[in-house]
Chains A and B, each alone.
Chain A
Amino acid sequence: MSTPVLETIGLVKRFGGLLATDHVSFTLRRGARHALIGPNGAGKTTFVNQLTGVLTPTEGQIRLEGEDITHRRPEARVRLGMSRTFQINQLFRTMTPLEMLLLVLGEREGRGLHFWSRLDARADLVREAATIAERFRLDDVIDATIATLSYGKQRQLEIAAAFAARPKVLLLDEPAAGVPEAERQDLLDTVAELPEDVSVLLIEHDMDLVFRFATRITVLVNGAVIADGEPAAIAADPAVRAAYLGEGKDA
């Protein structure tokens, strides 16, 4: 149960003179509920963007299930079993949630080039899309244009779409950011209800959510890992406290 599903080895990303990722060696274990935290500008999103292939690392290696994926394209990584949500919603705004889910399912099943097939040709995929919509509390809006959905529903869809790719590794980039209180509980519930065999890396500001959810925490400051361990140990770690106090109370 504790084999690494995703790991980075000496990952470095430089933007000119700025060392945004500083030799990060990180391990995500199978079935993990792992949180990556750090003050604003610590390089969390830069790190995630390298994991998913939006950015190419300057040095180092990324391995998914032991396979070197450092230079694979983003869509190839999705097919290999890693999907993500975005800190700022990135949705297909003119589609409906049903269409968006079917798109992800279709690509997962290698149907993306099927130009003569119908969207509902595979009844099992339609059923799966409907089931996912229900799981993420989207069944009441499956035919609404995504741009008209409430922000909370859009956040749910962010996760639902990533989940639909049936990932081994799911990267959640601040899933609860900006969600109004009324819709927050729904969102936290769906995150908590993610199946156990999906390994989850949660990038989060919200300490409340982190300590409720994570069984392991990695702390990133100025691009480097300053602590990595169980929540209790992290909470007591003087370096972590200093980093957070030094930056001002951030969470």
Chain B
Amino acid sequence: MSMARPTASLPAANLPVAGTAAPAATTAAPAPDTTSLAGTLLRRRRAWKPVELLFWGVAILAPLMLPRSMLLMNEIAILGLFALSLDLILGYAGIVSLGHAAFLGVGAYAAGLFALNVSTDPLAGLVAAMLAASVLGLLSSFLVLRGSDLTRLMVTLGVALLVFEAANSWRSLTGGADGLQGITIGPVLGLFDFDLQGRTAYLYSLAVLFLLFLAARRMMGSPFGLSLRALRDNRLRASASGVGVNERLVLVYTLAAAYAGAAGGLLAQTTQFVSLDVLEFHRSADLMLVLIIGGTGWLYGGLVGAVLFELFQDVVSAATPQYWQFWVGLLLVVFVSGGREAVHKAGAALRRRIAALFGGRRA
């Protein structure tokens, strides 16, 4: 894909010149300038941007603004976490998957069984869900190491189908088509009981999402995260740069599985019910749609996508309860065949406008 594209090299104006230190190329001791510039760039890149703080601020204050939509918001938070998980492998490491529901489902069943048989403590159950999903992630990660994207789509889909049928057949454990019933979940941290409005559920899911997001943000900004981006961009060069390709893929796939397991655990705990629906194909497919809407590789894509997807579904299914899937399908087609660029372009233009307002600071 590397074509000889003789574009002019970017002008130095693209670089934020720190203070008054203009890059004078003629001086004999040049390293400190570039070094301090590099340090500035790296710090700026990892710094929290105002819009990020705004995003989380709104999420935390949402219960005050929309006290009656708590259940919907809980669904959004869980879908957002699930999509964040897919973004870790798709957006960072470049692994496509059509079977991510396997990890969601295993996490959900693990959390449900844990509550029924071991303890009703939600956090312990969440850990159980993450562990169970990461075991499946570790085992199946070896299947996605080789082959093309198409192979991976088929392999991940196959694994998800296997897990679905296993859950369907193993009635004594999963309850088969009846699902796991009679789950009760104790108060979060022994303090906050789950209520009917879903207030505790939402805040619990949001807190888990936020903590796991923080961890993901930190990890994707680390040397490990950088090596994942290297794999996604160019595997040949990654291995020629000393990156152990297989080990990184195994690790990130397992990590993503644990994240999806946490989403499944939250789903089981906040709905107090687990059925085969958590393993259905549409979960994996919807997830792709969520990431396509929100964009991959910037961590917020899954969250933004989840908000838009759920709101759209909510509005449309209220308007036309029978045909809402038609509109979801139409949205997908329009969005993928050009609408996405238009939206992202508009977003970029908006960012430039805002940046200009604040005196030329880069967005």
Contacts and interface: CB of A to CB of B under 8 A. Distances in A.
Interface stretch (B9-17, B58-66, B130-138, B195-203): B9-17
Interface in B67-111: none
Interface residues of A, number: 64
Nearest to B44: A143
Interface residues of B, number: 53
A141 B244 contact: no
B314 interface: no
Interface string A71-84: 00111001100011
A130 B9 contact: no
Given A119-B226, A140-B9, A74 B239 contact: yes
Interface string A82-115: 0110101111111110111011101110011111
A121 to B, nearest CB: 8
Given A92-B233, A94-B229, A103-B223, A78 B39 contact: no
Contacts of A83: 240-241
A89 B245 CA distance: 19
A224 to B, nearest CB: 26
A131 B16 CA distance: 18
A228 interface: no
Interface in B192-232: 218-219, 221-227, 229-230, 232
A151 interface: yes
B9 A75 contact: no
Interface stretch (B30-38, B117-125, B144-152, B339-347): B30-38
List the 7 shortest-distance A-B pairs measured between CB atoms, nearest first. Answer: A89-B2, A107-B242, A130-B34, A78-B242, A92-B233, A115-B224, A106-B223
A95 B229 contact: yes
A133 B352 CA distance: 29
A92 B9 contact: no
Interface of B: 1-2, 4-10, 12, 14-16, 23, 30-31, 34-35, 37-39, 41-43, 46, 218-219, 221-227, 229-230, 232-234, 236-245, 247-248, 251, 297
28 contacts: A78-B239, A89-B2, A90-B2, A91-B2, A92-B234, A94-B229, A106-B223, A108-B242, A114-B223, A115-B224, A118-B42, A118-B222, A119-B222, A130-B31, A130-B37, A130-B38, A131-B34, A131-B35, A134-B30, A134-B31, A139-B34, A141-B10, A141-B14, A142-B38, A143-B41, A151-B6, A165-B241, A178-B4
B14 A144 contact: yes
B240 A93 contact: no
Given A54-B236, A94-B233, A150-B8, A116 B227 contact: no
